[in-house]
Amino acid sequence: GAVVSQHPSRVICKSGTSVKIECRSLDFQATTMFWYRQFPKQSLMLMATSNEGSKATYEQGVEKDKFLINHASLTLSTLTVTSAHPEDSSFYICSAKTGLAGGPEETQYFGPGTRLLVL
Amino acid sequence: GQNIDQPTEMTATEGAIVQINCTYQTSGFNGLFWYQQHAGEAPTFLSYNVLDGLEEKGRFSSFLSRSKGYSYLLLKELQMKDSASYLCAGKDSNYQLIWGAGTKLIIKP
């Protein structure tokens, strides 16, 4: 099956610093990747859709200057949380689409997630 | 608007059967997904339905009725490791996933 990796799995940083999270599709090419955030005991919240070679599409309420997304290749997307604050502490999960592009058979496969704690 | 509804929490007994329901309202429809998410982990894909009927995959089955905007996930021979949240997601006309809030399933011995 499709495998998506994320790095790091856990990060603790000081307030005001930036953190980069990598998402890789290991055995398939993903033209589209997604970044989600999930607070404890809450549902997944889509932050942005990342398309290879173009600018990411951000969901309403998500600051694009704070959450920088780069999708430089078909297997790698990165999310950088800039000037992190304690309220940014959350579980960040990426997913990648596989299957026929645009078709209904597409399935999202998730990375293992990155737990961010901002002190 | 678009909406996915599923129960917040369910409890079942080890070895039993449980059905988790999901109703959806999406702009267009291109399939219904079920994912399993254990606490502190990312979701894992369970099933995909785009045509009416039952799809069986081992102990798990998923059903879809497009006319009723309804799906369910059926788990048989429940095991303690099945304790998790089960997420229902519908794909709309733009092939975007609309996520439900998830159903937390608690399995008791």
Q: Are strands A114-118 and A10-13 parallel, antiparallel or unpaired?
A: parallel
Percent residues over pLDDT 70 in chain A? 92
Beta strands in chain B (DSSP E): 3-5, 9-13, 18-25, 32-37, 44-49, 53-57, 60-65, 70-75, 84-91, 97-99, 103-108
Mean pLDDT (whole number) for A11-26: 96
d(Cα A112, Cα A28) in Å, to the nearest integer?
Answer: 17
**pLDDT band at residue A105 under the 50/70/90 scheme:** low
How confident is the prediction for chain A on average, in pLDDT?
Answer: 89
Cβ contact (<8 Å) for B41 and A112?
yes
Of A43, A104, A112, the CB nearest to B30: A104
Q: Which pLDDT tens digit goes with each residue over A45-85?
A: 899 998 888 889 999 899 999 999 998 888 999 999 999 99
pLDDT given at position A107: 78
pLDDT given at position A1: 64
Closest CA to A116 of A50, A75, A66: A66
pLDDT given at position A99: 62
Cβ contact (<8 Å) for A106 and B95?
yes
The yes-or-no verdict on residue B108 having pLDDT over 90 is yes
Q: Which pLDDT tens digit goes with each residue over B6-18?
A: 999 999 999 999 9
Give the residue from chain A lying closest to B36, CA to CA.
Answer: A110
Q: Kindly state the tokens that stand for B11.
A: 């409890």
**pLDDT band at residue A100 under the 50/70/90 scheme:** low
Q: Which pLDDT tens digit goes with each residue over A4-16?
A: 999 999 999 999 9
Highest mean pLDDT (candidates A104-108, B29-33, B102-106): B102-106
**pLDDT band at residue B95 under the 50/70/90 scheme:** confident
The yes-or-no verdict on residue B63 having pLDDT over 90 is yes
List CB contacts (< 8 A) between B35 and chain A.
110
